[in-house]
Each structure stands twice: as structure tokens, then as C-alpha cells.
A and B are shown apart, each in its own frame.
Chain A
Amino acid sequence: GQQLNQSPQSMFIQEGEDVSMNCTSSSIFNTWLWYKQEPGEGPVLLIALYKAGELTSNGRLTAQFGITRKDSFLNISASIPSDVGIYFCAGRHNMIKAAGNKLTFGGGTRVLVKP
């Protein structure tokens, strides 16, 4: 099956730091999505990217759709304690109805606060 490699698997943040995470794929995607999941809840969409090279921001979050269509990254600027959670990338190949808008998810990046 399709593989999305997400890194790092976990990271510690200190308030005010900028952090980055990325996803790479062995195949091309037409859409990249970034979700955040907090304990006991389902993933919530942060940013959606629809074109190669696209750079999109949502507050302190910025994500880019790689030119090759095989990667994407997410940056968090000036991190705060509530940024803690698990961040997932997800990619979609095509828009054929029978394919059902299916997503392939990365393994997640767990963001923790430095003790």
C-alpha cells in the first residue's frame, strides 16, 4: 500500500520556538492535508493544499505542497503550550468519485513541551 513517511516522530518544543515537520511519499499526491489531534478527540483539519508549490498559512501555521508533489511540510512559528498534540499529514491521489476522496495518512508527529 501507499506509504507516507512523516518526520520527526516526536519533538519537544519550548515556548517561542519555531518547529518544522515534513512528510514524504513514494508516489505523487494531488492534495496534501495537515491535521492536528488532541487527546481523546478526532483529527481536526489545519491546512489543505491543492496545488504543487502552494504555500498556505493559518495563523502561526504554514504549510507547503512540494514541487515534486511527493512531499509537504508544516511549520509552527512562535510555539505556545497549546500547540502540543499529534500532527498528521495526509495525501490524496485522485478525485474520482469511486475512489471516495480517500486519504493516506502519515504516522504522525507528536509535539511535546520541554520539561
Chain B
Amino acid sequence: NAGVTQTPKFRVLKTGQSMTLLCAQDMNHEYMYWYRQDPGMGLRLIHYSVGEGTTAKGEVPDGYNVSRLKKQNFLLGLESAAPSQTSVYFCASSRTRPPGDQPQHFGDGTRLSIL
């Protein structure tokens, strides 16, 4: 069972370069999320999507863009990478309710370094 798959797993960029992180889920989940994880700060929500064609800002959206053209995919873009964006990025997905709440399922992360 694949669940949530993130590509690439590792990447090193130079300041100013652009790149796209891909998240794919095979669970037919409506909701998808992008987080960044920095030491001692837990996970912070960058952007999220409640369905195909819709996206919304999370807690730390600046410097990132997202797209949800297909239900199973959620793309995170960095238009001009900055060293402050060095982090581990996690994608997650969840079903809608009801019945009951549906917890988020996470991918294994993309480790991104900006030089």
C-alpha cells in the first residue's frame, strides 16, 4: 500500500532556483496538506486543499505556491528558493467527515537544502 508518496526525497538547490515538490496519494482523500518541519518547531502548515481545484493558505504560506489539478496530486512550488526555506517538507492527506473525524496520513518527507 503506497499511501502518501513524496518525490523527490532529497534535493539541494542554489538560492534563486525554482523547483516543485510532488505529493501523490492513492487513498482517494479529499483533503491534502503541505507542512514544513524545522528543528524544535513541530510541523507548520504551508498550504492545504479541500478538494480538486481548490487551495488555501496555511500558517506559513509566503514564498510557496501550490496547485491541485488532480484529486490525487498536490504540488508545492518554490519560485525563487531562499536559505530560510531549508527544511523537511511533509505532505499529508485525509478523508472528509462524516462519520467522525479523519486523521491525516503523512508521506515520508522531502529534505530540501538551499545553499
Contact = CB atoms under 8 A, between A and B. Distances in A.
A binds B: yes
Interface of A: 1, 4, 6, 9, 31, 33, 35, 40-45, 48, 50, 88, 92, 95, 97-98, 100-103, 105-108
Given A50-B101, A107-B41, 7 more contacts: A6-B42, A35-B106, A42-B106, A48-B101, A101-B94, A102-B58, A103-B104
Interface residues of B, number: 31
Contacts of B102: 101
A9 B40 contact: yes
A97 B59 contact: no
B108 A105 contact: no
A88 B97 CA distance: 23
A95 B45 contact: no
Interface in B82-103: 90, 92, 94, 96-97, 100-103
B9 to A, nearest CB: 9
Residue from the set B49, B56, B103, B109 with the largest chain A CB neighbour count within 10 Å: B103
A43 B56 CA distance: 22
27 contacts: A6-B42, A9-B40, A35-B106, A40-B108, A42-B4, A42-B106, A42-B108, A42-B109, A48-B101, A88-B42, A98-B56, A100-B31, A100-B33, A100-B50, A100-B56, A101-B31, A101-B94, A101-B96, A101-B102, A101-B104, A102-B45, A103-B43, A103-B45, A105-B43, A105-B44, A107-B41, A108-B42
A4 to B, nearest CB: 8
A43 B59 contact: no
A106 B94 CA distance: 19
A45 B101 contact: no
B43 A1 contact: no
Contacts of B45: 102-103
Contacts of B61: none
Contacts of B50: 97-98, 100
